[in-house]
Structure 1
Amino acid sequence: MISWRKHYRQTLIAIGLLLSTSASIYGQDGDPKNGEKLFKANCTACHALDKQVVGPPLKGVVERVKTEGGKDTEWLHKWIKNNKEVRDSGDKYANEIFEKYNKTEMQLFPNLSDKDIDDILAYTTNPPAPEEPKKAEGTATATDAAQAAPANNTTTSVVIISLLAIAALLVWILIKLRQLVKLGQSEDLAGLNETRVKSFSEIYAKYHYVGKGLIAILALLATYGIWNWIMWIGVYKGYKPEQPIYFSHKIHAGEQKIDCQLCHSSAKYGKVSEIPSMNVCMNCHRTISEYGANDYMEPGKDKAFYDGEIQKIYAATGWDPEKQQYTGKTQPVEWTRIHNMPDFVYFNHSQHVVAGEQAIINSFNKKNPNNKIDVVCKACHGKIDTMNVVQMANDFTMGWCIECHRTTEVDMNNGYNKEYFKNLHDKLKKQYPKDGGKITVDAIGGLECGKCHY
Structure 2
Amino acid sequence: MYRRVSILLRKHFVSVLILCASIVIPFSAVKAADPAKGKQIFQQNCASCHNVHKKLTGPALAGVEGRWSDKKLLHQWIHNSASVLASGDKYANDLFNEYNKTAMTAFPSLSNEDIDDILAYIKVEEAKPVGTPKEGPATSGAGAKEQGSDNSLLFGIITLILAVVALILMQINSNLNKLAGDKEGHPTPEPIPFYKNKAYIALGILLLFMVGGYFTIQGAIGLGRQKDYMPEQPIFYSHKVHAGINQINCLYCHAGAEKSKHAMIPSENICMNCHKAIKEYSGPELFTAEGKKVDGTAEIAKLYDYVGWDAEKGKYTKPGRPIEWTKIHNLPDHVYFNHSQHTVAGKQQCQTCHGAITEMDEVHQFADLSMGWCINCHRTTKVQFADNNYYSIFEKLHQDIKDKKIDSVTVEMVGGTECQKCHY
TM-score using structure 1 length = 0.48
Q: Give the superposed CA RMSD.
A: 2.9
Which residue of the partner structure matches residue 392 of structure 1?
A: 365
**Contact 1:429-1:439 within 8 A present in 2 as well:** no
The 3-state SS of whatever aligns with 2:266 is coil
Determine the C-alpha separation between the residues in 2 that align with 1:310 and 1:418. Answer: 45
Pick closer, same or farther for the CA change 1:213–1:273 going to 2, 3 Å: same
Runs of 4+ in 1 over 6 A off after TM superposition: none
1:332 matches 2:322: yes
- C-alpha distance in 2, partners of 1:205/1:389? 53
Between the two structures, name the one with larger relative contact order (CA 8 Å, sep ≥ 6): 2
Secondary structure, aligned partner of 1:420: coil
| Alpha-carbon distance change, 231 to 428 in structure 1, aligned in 2, over 3 angstroms | farther
Q: CA deviation at 1:427?
A: 5.7
Aligned to 1:379: 352
Q: Offset of 1:298 from its aligned partner?
A: 3.5
Q: Whose radius of gyration is greater, 1 or 2?
A: 1
Letter in 2 for 1:384: I
* 2:52 paired residue number: none
Matched, 1:438 2:408: yes
2:235 matches 1:245: yes
Mapped to 2, the partners of 1:231 and 1:428 lie a distance apart of: 39
Equivalence for 1:265:
255
Partner of residue 300 from structure 2, selected from 300, 310, 313: 310
CA distance in 1, matches of 2:391, 2:423: 27
CA distances 1:291-344 after superposition (whole Å, capped 9, x unpaired)? 122x353385667x2111111111110111121111232233211110111111
Counterparts of 1:446 and 1:429, CA distance in 2: 22
Structure 2 Cα separation of the partners of residues 437 and 216 of structure 1:
51
Q: Distance in 1 between matches of 2:239 and 2:201?
A: 57
- Judging changes above 3 Å, is the alpha-carbon distance between structure 1 residues 204 and 292 closer, same or farther for their aligned structure 2 residues? closer
Per the alignment, residue 223 of structure 2 pairs with 233
Q: Amino acid of the residue matched to residue 225 of structure 1?
A: F
Give CA deviations for 1:414-452 in whole Å, capped at 9, x if unaligned: 24156321244346899x96xx54321111110111100
3-state SS of 2:373 partner:
helix
Instruction: Letter of the 1:442 partner, please give it.
Output: E
Structure 1 residue 377: Cα displacement? 0.3
Post-superposition shift, 1:413? 1.3
Output the CA distance in 1 between the equivalents of 2:392 and 2:357. Answer: 35
**1:297 partner amino acid:** L
Give the structure 2 partner of residue 218 of structure 1: 208
Rounded to whole Å, the distance in 2 between the matches of 1:221 and 1:302 is: 43
TM-score w.r.t. the length of structure 2 is 0.51
Q: 1:228 to 1:324 in 2, by over 3 A?
A: same
Which runs of no fewer than 5 residues in structure 2 stay unpaired? 1-132, 134-189
Quick one: which amino acid aligns to residue 332 of structure 2?
P
Q: Structure 1: which 5+ residue stretches go unaligned?
A: 1-136, 138-196, 361-375
Q: Distance in 2 between matches of 1:437 and 1:209?
A: 59
Q: Which has the higher helix share?
A: 1
1:2-401 correspondence to structure 2 within 5 Å: 203=193, 206-293=196-283, 295-298=284-287, 305-357=295-347, 360=348, 376-401=349-374
Q: Percent identity?
A: 44
Deviation, structure 1 residue 349 = 0.2
Amino acid at match of 2:392: E
CA displacement, residues 268-312 of structure 1 (integer Å, 9 cap, x when unaligned): 11100111111111001111111122x353385667x21111111
